[in-house]
Structure 1
Amino acid sequence: MVALSSVASAAQTPTRMNQYNDWGSYSYDSSGSKVCYVLSTPKTMQPSSVDHGDIFFLVSQKPGNKSAYEPQVVMGYPLRDGSKVTVDVDGKKFALFTRGESAWVENAAEEPQLVAALKAGRSMKVDAVSQRGTQTNYTYSLAGVTAAINSLASCK
């Protein structure tokens, strides 16, 4: 988790490596080692009447274990303290805990299951609650996610 919190701070200087349909692969240097991740932006954002800011779903390599991945949601607004974000991939739901503008898989043992669901899935929906109490939801295309995640294996 600590490494991913730094994704936000390092996000100003990532290098875009490749684009796989709706998913891009990126890297940045952190303390002399390369951190690689893939990300996508939502196809739809609801409610349409509010300013959502920049919204991302990303999957990054875990530091020290390049074959393990950590999914994360990054919002353009603060999430309600203590709230959960629900990620639904073709009906399979995962609970994410929130801190600030980000959310991570509550049960780390489910991270590989979420990554497998992304690879096998067709679409993903993310439901969240803003600090102000606004119910938000986002839909993502999973076109290209498998190739993008697989490309992380060659990122060194």
Structure 2
Amino acid sequence: MSVKTVATAMALMLASAGIASAQSPTRIQQFKAWGAYSYNSAGSTVCYVLSVPTAKEPASVDHGDIFFIVSQRPGQNISYEPQAMMGYPLQASSKVNVTIDGKTFVMFTKDKAAWVENAAEEPALVAAMKGGTSMTVSATSGRGTNTSYSYSLSGISAALKQIETCK
């Protein structure tokens, strides 16, 4: 992944988390389709893994920068929080569906991002990601366009292992 791609993802992630000041991310290591990164914010370290889609549908529209992130924020007692980040505003009150091996996880939306609707399901989603080979994320844009993104899960387990001791 390019530095521009990571910087864009970081800016989107910080904006969605309401964090105004943070340092640029440091790439820890790339694990096939997933990169592990960290940055310092307000005196604590935030670590995350990030990937970009291998396919975007419909192909005829400009999707902007699309990412799927799993973050660790020990200073905020947040462990392995999945988040979908879109390059466009999502339809208000819509849901994003993440499907891995026939199991679907529902995410709620706010602006250009989505989080697991039932936080108790976050560990199950992360476990499914570790055990799966591919993941599909389906969303509806603010304009009403149904979109779909395919992700490779190759390297996700190693990337998550890399950030498990984030402090």
TM-score scaled to structure 1, two decimals?
0.91
1:109 is aligned, of 120, 123, 127, to 120
Whole-angstrom distance in 1 between the partners of 2:23 and 2:139: 25
Residue type matched to 2:72 in 1?
Q
Out of 139-148 and 57-66, give the one that drifted further. Answer: 57-66
Structure 2 CA distance for partners of 1:73 and 1:8, relative to 1, 3 Å: farther
TM-score scaled to structure 2, two decimals?
0.85
CA contact (8 A) 1:3 1:63 kept: no
1:20 maps to 2:31:
yes
Whole-angstrom distance in 1 between the partners of 2:141 and 2:100: 21
Partner of 2:90: 79
Q: Which runs of 5+ in 1 are unaligned?
A: none
Q: Deviation at 1:6?
A: 3.1
Partner-residue secondary structure (3-state), 2:164: helix
Q: Which runs of 5+ in 2 are unaligned?
A: 1-12
Q: Deviation at 1:132?
A: 0.1
Whole-angstrom distance in 1 between the partners of 2:73 and 2:14: 8
Structure 2 CA distance for partners of 1:29 and 1:61, relative to 1, 3 Å: same
1:61 maps to 2:72:
yes
Q: Deviation at 1:63?
A: 3.5
Pairwise CA RMSD: 2.2
Structure 2 CA distance for partners of 1:58 and 1:80, relative to 1, 3 Å: same
Out of 12-21 and 52-61, give the one that drifted further. Answer: 12-21
1:145 is aligned, of 152, 156, 160, to 156
How many pairs does the alignment contain?
154
Q: Which has the higher strand share?
A: 1
